[in-house]
């Protein structure tokens, strides 16, 4: 019988969901999973250099999370909250302070409703293209639209972190590699890195290369079909710069391993791989990886612990095997690891 979505489930005690990041970041726990032997070893993240070899290439996602959660009010006075799926796109021929975006929403909406978010940012509902999603036109009365969103919005912590965002989350929910603004969720495998860990890796000859994938709804939309192969992943914007592709191709030609930091990085690398090597480019990535996929670009994976029945757990299971991953997760629960975005991580070798 073919596996179904229920075969990628596991029990997690709710108290193991991390509400805050480890302090310092590199004090997070690290499980090292050996695909060849099935061995599971326990370490601290700052010990990562002990488990990588000189010449390996660490590939990180340099996207930066923007405050995509917009709490506001309707013209009637009722509360509403938008979760922007991407930064607003300026309207052709329009003023730079206006743009359109797709957003999830909480509250009742209908086309034509006007919204106010503070900081000079207002909106109008243009359409409700599908359940729970609105197309909105946003306008800033105080200058640039992106700046207005930055001022009015909140960092969009995942719903399983059952607390309101704080000022500290503005930076703690960003990786040290965050450069290019555009994500609505953090590529959390990168959260554990600190300057001292990166310096130790560089000192032993581990190279670091950055790619970009602006995390959007595609990464975290739940799989709602029992046959998980029928799920469709919404596209997310990516970039692989020519210089990054050149360095990655040089590493592959020399037989050096590529270590992906996070599932988003995996999807960029696998999407950009061709027979001749990595192809630079920019566009929309909708690669959906589940068991049976043959990896061509990525040799090792550093990743957090993911939600049951999620596309992220399916990807990790494709990389290491379902049985090994579920055994590793069961061991993490027994050892009281911290789970999800602000939690601990694993290195799959």
DSSP labels, 281-343: EEEEE-----TT---SS-SEEEEE---TT-HHHHHHHHHH-HHHHHHHHHHHHHTT--BSTTS
Burial of 6 (0-12, 13-18, 19+ CB in 10 A): exposed
Q: Which residues of the chain have pLDDT under 50?
A: none
Which SS3 state, helix, strand or coil, does residue 201 take? helix
CA distance 190 to 144: 30
Burial of 124 (0-12, 13-18, 19+ CB in 10 A): middle
Long-range contacts of 276-281 (CB under 8 A, 24+ apart): 277/245, 277/248, 277/249, 277/252, 277/253, 278/240, 278/244, 278/245, 278/248, 278/249, 278/252, 279/240, 279/245, 280/240, 280/241, 280/242, 280/244, 280/245, 281/239, 281/240
Check residue 94 and give its pLDDT: 57
Check residue 124 and give its pLDDT: 96
Check residue 98 and give its pLDDT: 87
Check residue 331 and give its pLDDT: 98
Predicted TM-score (pTM) of the model is 0.94
Check residue 3 and give its pLDDT: 84
Rounded to 10°, the helix 311-320/322-334 angle is: 110
Complete domains list, the chain, with CATH: 5-65+169-348 (3.40.1780.10), 69-152 (2.40.10.240)
Check residue 143 and give its pLDDT: 79
């Amino acid at each position: 019988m073919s596996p179904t979505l229920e075969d990628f489930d596991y029990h997690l005690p709710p108290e193991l969901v991390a509400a805050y990041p480890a302090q310092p970041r590199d004090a997070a726990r690290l499980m090292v999973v050996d695909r060849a032997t099935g061995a599971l070893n326990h370490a601290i993240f700052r010990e990562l250099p002990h488990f990588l070899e000189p010449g390996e290439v660490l590939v990180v996602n340099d996207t930066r999370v923007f405050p995509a959660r917009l709490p506001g009010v309707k013209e009637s006075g009722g509360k509403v909250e938008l979760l922007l799926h991407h930064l607003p796109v300026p309207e052709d021929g329009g003023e730079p302070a206006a743009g359109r975006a797709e957003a999830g929403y909480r509250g009742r909406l209908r086309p034509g409703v006007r919204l106010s978010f503070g900081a000079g940012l207002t909106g109008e509902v243009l359409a409700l293209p599908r359940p729970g999603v609105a197309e909105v036109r946003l306008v800033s009365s105080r200058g640039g639209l992106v700046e207005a969103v930055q001022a009015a919005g909140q960092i969009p912590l995942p719903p399983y972190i059952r607390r309101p965002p704080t000022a500290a989350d503005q930076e703690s929910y960003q990786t040290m590699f965050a450069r290019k603004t555009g994500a609505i969720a953090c590529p959390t495998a990168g959260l554990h890195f600190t300057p001292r860990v990166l310096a130790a890796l560089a000192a032993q000859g581990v190279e670091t290369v950055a790619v970009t994938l602006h995390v959007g709804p595609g990464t975290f939309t739940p799989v709602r079909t029992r046959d998980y192969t029928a799920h469709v992943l919404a596209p997310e914007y990516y970039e692989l710069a020519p210089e990054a592709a050149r360095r990655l191709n040089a590493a592959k030609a020399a037989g050096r391993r590529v270590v992906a930091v996070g599932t988003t990085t995996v999807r960029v690398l696998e999407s950009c791989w061709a027979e001749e090597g990595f192809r630079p480019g920019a566009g929309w990535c909708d690669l959906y990886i589940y068991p049976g996929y043959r990896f061509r670009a990525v040799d090792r994976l550093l990743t957090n612990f993911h939600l049951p029945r999620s596309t992220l757990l399916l990807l990790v299971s494709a990389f290491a095997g379902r049985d090994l991953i579920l055994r590793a997760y069961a061991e993490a629960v027994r050892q009281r690891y911290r789970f999800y975005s602000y939690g601990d991580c694993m290195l799959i070798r």
